[in-house]
Amino acid sequence: MPYALCFLLFMIGLYCAVVKKNMVKIVLGIMIMEYAVNLFLIMLGYLSGGVAPIINRADYDGQTQAIAAQFLNASVDPLPQALVLTSIVISLGSLALMISICIRTYAKYGTFDITEIRRLRG
């Protein structure tokens, strides 16, 4: 069910990016799609009852292999979290670029409507 909600969130963002005529709404749709993908990646790494992948020295009492096996079964995968952190930084850069394009387009044409901008081309 949560994966279906991520898909629904992605489809809402895709609808905004494809159907809307306002450039700001298109940017918001793209950002919603990015957040849906980030949420999906975090949910892939989620483990019910999982712990952070940190081992204390006090956990070792001579049974290293048993503790390592128990740790691997109970720890959460940190790779999706690292991917999402990287994705957040990249999406921040792309958001800044999209907003700057919107501002420059508004300064030149005086509108955010893409149909009006296409008509003014020439």
18-57 pLDDT tens trace: 999 999 999 999 999 999 999 998 888 776 666 666 665 5
Of the two residues 10 and 82, the one the predictor is more confident about is: 10
- Helix (H) and strand (E) counts in the chain: 5, 0
Give domain status of residue 58, yes or no. no
Confidence of residue 77 (pLDDT cuts 50, 70, 90): confident
Residue 98 lies in a domain: yes
| Domain that residue 79 falls in | 2-48+63-120
Residue 55 is assigned to a structural domain of this protein? no
Best CA proximity match to 47, nearest among 4, 67, 77: 77
Within a domain: residue 111?
Answer: yes
Whether 7 has a pLDDT exceeding 60, the answer reads yes
Which residues does residue 113 pair with via DSSP β-bridges, in sequence order?
22
Measure the CA–CA gap between 36 and 6, rounded to whole angstroms: 5
Q: What domain count does the chain have? A: 1
Cα atoms in the 13 Å half-sphere on the side-chain side of 58: 0
Task: Report the CATH number at residue 14.
Answer: 1.10.287.3510
**What does the pLDDT read at residue 11?**
96
Would 57 be classed as within a structural domain? Answer: no
Residue 53 belongs to a domain:
no
Q: Is residue 6 part of a domain?
A: yes
Instruction: Look up residue 32 and give its amino acid.
Output: I
Nearest-angstrom CA–CA distance, 114 and 20? 9
